[in-house]
């Protein structure tokens, strides 16, 4: 008699689970379409940005939004939080901001019997969606207050670990134009962001609609479509979506092809100071699944890998001095390696 593995589900249960995932994916695809449309009614002309933001949230990650002033970064985050039904808080990062202003601090409290004890007062990071506005204006000491929270989803204070609400996402904004009085984000901080989302100026037609929609007496307000519980279920579904061998090989080829230690071409090896690490490959794997689900597909394709290569990898790499002097760019290197796996 063969030994039965009771830990493994029966084929019937596997089939039933797969059918349930397909049904859930169909419902979710319709809702994601409604979410994109609702955000697009308020944030005009940023369809690519909205998609990448949803990819980040569906993957359970964090995003760094980079764009010039006035492009709607804060409006985008606030609108997304409302549509997704998430509790959101905003912290304006300034040079005098302290870590305790974000994570919280202990105060000496006295009860009705006169006994004194320290009590932890939770900071604004205890929320489902934290908007870290102009994150590079705070000192590295304050920036590092987010490191543990973004990776471990908890805050340690005086030897006690306080779990953060779930879901938990950090959406940070950064102005690429004005760098005076700012502190560049260290590599460890950048690596915590799943995507770096670049906001460009809108097209003429979109800007025309924006002028008409935002300067009148009526103001567009996005409806609430999702809930935090539904978002958690969607994030779990994203992790259950299958990934084909071609997609897996494309991710490995792209990430390893952009590391100086393992790059196949001398141009890449000589241009990069360092390349993306394993966390970048993990982020790209999850992001491709989320993009496929947004597009109504049950499995990602190599096209998803190519579409997300730059926002997932560019902020996890750096050119050396010689490459910058010769006019090389990270976008160009990523495109050249991506072209070999297309």
What CATH number does residue 55 fall under? 3.40.50.300
Residue 341: pLDDT band (50, 70, 90) is confident
What distance, in Å, lies between the first and last C-alpha atoms of the chain?
A: 49
| DSSP string for residues in 250-297 | HHHHHHHTTSTTT-SSHHHHHHEEE---HHHHHHHHHHHHHHHHHTT-
Q: Which among 225, 122, 137, 125 is positioned nearest to 169, based on CA atoms? A: 125
**Do you know the residue count of the chain?**
342
Query: Are 43 and 173 part of one and the same domain?
Result: yes
Print the domain residue range for 341.
241-342
On average, the pLDDT of the chain sits at: 86
Give the Cα separation of 171 and 135 in Å (integer). 10
Query: Are 210 and 88 part of one and the same domain?
Result: yes
Tokens of 6: 């009771």
Beta-bridge partners for 118: 108
pTM: 0.87
- Provide the number of structural domains found in the chain: 2
Give the Cα separation of 147 and 142 in Å (integer). 10
Task: Indicate the range of 88-92, 145-149, 249-253 predicted with least confidence.
Answer: 145-149
Query: Are 218 and 141 part of one and the same domain?
Result: yes
The yes-or-no verdict on residue 17 having pLDDT over 80 is no
The yes-or-no verdict on residue 12 having pLDDT over 60 is no
Residue ending a domain, choose from 187, 219, 240: 240
Give the Cα separation of 149 and 37 in Å (integer). 31
Query: Are 208 and 72 part of one and the same domain?
Result: yes
Query: Are 58 and 207 part of one and the same domain?
Result: yes
The verdict on residue 7 lying in a domain is no
Query: Are 254 and 211 part of one and the same domain?
Result: no
The verdict on residue 10 lying in a domain is no
Residue 305: pLDDT band (50, 70, 90) is very high
The yes-or-no verdict on residue 9 having pLDDT over 90 is no
Query: Are 227 and 256 part of one and the same domain?
Result: no
Residue ending a domain, choose from 208, 225, 240: 240
What is the arithmetic mean of pLDDT over 110-139?
Answer: 86
């Amino acid at each position: 008699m063969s030994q039965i593995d009771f830990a493994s589900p029966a084929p019937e249960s596997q089939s039933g689970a797969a059918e349930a995932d397909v049904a859930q994916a169909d419902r979710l695809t319709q809702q994601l379409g409604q979410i994109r449309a609702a955000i697009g009614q308020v944030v005009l002309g940023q369809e690519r940005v909205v998609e990448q933001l949803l990819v980040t949230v569906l993957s359970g990650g964090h995003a760094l939004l980079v764009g010039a002033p006035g492009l709607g970064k804060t409006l985008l985050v606030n609108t997304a939080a409302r549509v997704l039904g998430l509790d959101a808080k905003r912290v304006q990062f300034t040079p005098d901001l302290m870590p305790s202003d974000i994570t919280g601090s202990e105060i000496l409290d006295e009860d009705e019997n006169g006994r004194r004890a320290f009590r932890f007062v939770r900071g604004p990071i205890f929320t489902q969606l934290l908007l870290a506005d102009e994150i590079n204006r705070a000192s590295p000491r304050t920036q590092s207050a987010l490191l543990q929270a973004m990776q471990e989803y908890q805050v340690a204070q005086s030897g006690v670990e306080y779990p953060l609400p779930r879901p938990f996402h950090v959406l940070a904004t950064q102005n690429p134009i004005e760098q005076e009085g700012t502190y560049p984000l260290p590599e460890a901080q950048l690596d915590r962001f799943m995507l770096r989302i670049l906001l460009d100026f809108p097209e003429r037609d979109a800007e025309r609609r924006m002028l008409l929609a935002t300067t009148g007496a009526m103001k567009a307000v996005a409806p609430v479509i999702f809930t935090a519980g539904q978002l958690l279920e969607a994030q779990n579904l994203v992790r259950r979506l299958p990934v084909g061998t071609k997609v897996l090989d494309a991710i490995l080829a792209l990430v390893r092809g952009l590391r100086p230690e393992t790059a196949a071409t001398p141009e890449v090896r000589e241009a990069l100071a360092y390349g993306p690490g394993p966390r970048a490959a993990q982020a790209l794997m999850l992001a491709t699944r989320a993009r496929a689900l947004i597009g109504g597909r049950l499995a990602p394709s190599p096209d998803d890998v190519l579409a997300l290569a730059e926002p997932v990898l560019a902020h996890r790499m750096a050119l050396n001095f010689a490459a910058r002097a010769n006019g090389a760019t990270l976008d160009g290197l990523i495109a050249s390696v991506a072209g070999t796996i297309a």
